[in-house]
Amino acid sequence: MAGHGARGRSGGRPTLEEVAARAGVGRGTVSRVINGSPRVSDATRAAVEAAVAELGYVPNTAARALAANRTDAIALVVPEPETRFFAEPYFSDMLRGVGAALSDTEMQLLLIFAGSDRERQRLAQYLAAHRVDGVLLVSVHADDPLPDLLAQLEIPAVISGPRSAEETLTSVDSDNYGGARSAVEHLIARGRHRIAHITGRLDVYGAQRRIDGYREALRDAGHVVDEQLIEAGDFTEEGGRRAMTRLLARCPDLDAVFAASDVTAAGARQVLREAGRRIPEDVALVGYDDSAIARHMDPPLTSVRQPIEEMGRRMIDLLLTEIADRRPAVSRGLERRQVVLATELVGRASS
């Protein structure tokens, strides 16, 4: 192990002090320049910047964090209890948006897995120790205690997909209601009359909103909502198969299915095929997410696209704002910030 003194002063990383000496100014002044304080004369600033460039100075994050009591890091918490949650585009697209928004800042992105109980335990410690300035929460379930822990610790946090209509945390979401509406309206426009819906997990707020959108689109078009045509799913393929089987048994006359996710649609497709129904001739099929599966399905699946990358970007924007305000939205009282982004229907051969 490198001893204390052995730490390479042999041309090693320069310190603030060295930059100050080089520029012929004091330590404080260099600090001000580095941190963009306006209270520095132009001449001094230029001299310091030159010294910084010559020495290739890069601030020591640890020292800064220690002195300033902040970390310049935000955590992306990946629940990942039901494994490989991020296999689908959702995660990677969001990550791309997050990365893009972050690249304009000095913030680091920490990936924290909170699948097992032990990992959640560690996460709680992490947060309690204030090792991050803010937290990004994705795909949180209604009964997850994490958001409340964050609120209690007064750690800025943004959640993707509010847990309910009363979500207190700042949230970014896509318009699940509108997305579902557009899917159903599309099917109606195609002349379908018996449109079924395979829902997502009912404890997920977004799934509820999609059901709402389904219902109201039908109602607004003058259709009667037949509860027999609604069957609970869970976003999975297997759930799609089960739901589709039940739906076919109950309503053999259905002529369209709107599934709450692409994988669910894939499961439904399989059952429809086995039952001898042609897609889209006999039954039109629409999914949700516009994932890779949708493009590669046979026939290619009409699906609702969410602007996930944009969601990632907005989450970061909001989080940085909260961090700058140094106080979570709840304790500021008043305005809960909820951003809802529009979806887009991507038409393909399945409908």
Partner DNA sequence: AGGTACCGTGGGAGCGCTCCCACAAGTGAT
Partner DNA sequence: ATCACTTGTGGGAGCGCTCCCACGGTACCT
Q: Interface residues with DNA (CB under 7 A)?
A: 1, 3-7, 13, 15-17, 24-29, 31-32, 34-35, 38-41, 43-45, 57, 59-60, 63-64, 66-69
Angle at 284 between CA 283 and CA 285, to 5 degrees: 115
43 binds, among DNA, its own copies, none (CB under 5 to 8 A by kind): DNA
Closest by CA to 68, choosing from 37, 38, 35, 39, is 35
Min CB(34)–DNA separation in Å? 6
Select 3 or 191, whichever has its Cβ closest to DNA.
3
C-alpha count within 13 angstroms, C-beta hemisphere, residue 164? 7
Residues that bind its own copies (CB under 8 A): 1-2, 7, 13, 56, 58-63, 65-66, 69, 71, 76, 78, 80, 83-84, 86-89, 91-93, 95-96, 99, 102-103, 108-113, 115-116, 118-119, 122, 125, 128-131, 266, 292-293, 296-298, 326
Min CB(33)–DNA separation in Å? 8
Q: Are 89 and 312 in contact (CB under 8 A)?
A: no
Select 153 or 230, whichever has its Cβ closest to DNA.
153
Min CB(56)–its own copies separation in Å? 7
Select 131 or 305, whichever has its Cβ closest to DNA.
131
Select 164 or 331, whichever has its Cβ closest to its own copies.
331
List all residues 6 or more positions away from 340 whose beta carbon is below 8 Å from its beta carbon: 172, 173, 174, 175
* Dihedral of the alpha carbons of 260, 342, 339, 309, in degrees to the nearest 10: 80
Select 45 or 197, whichever has its Cβ closest to DNA.
45
List all residues 6 or more positions away from 208 whose beta carbon is below 8 Å from its beta carbon: 202
Min CB(82)–its own copies separation in Å? 12
Angle at 206 between CA 153 and CA 208, to 5 degrees: 120
Min CB(122)–DNA separation in Å? 16
Instruction: Give me the amino acid identity at 174.
Output: S
Select 3 or 222, whichever has its Cβ closest to DNA.
3
> What letters, b where the CB count within 10 A reaches 16 and e where it falls short, cover 17-49?
ebbbbbbebeeebbbbbbeeeeebeeebbebbb
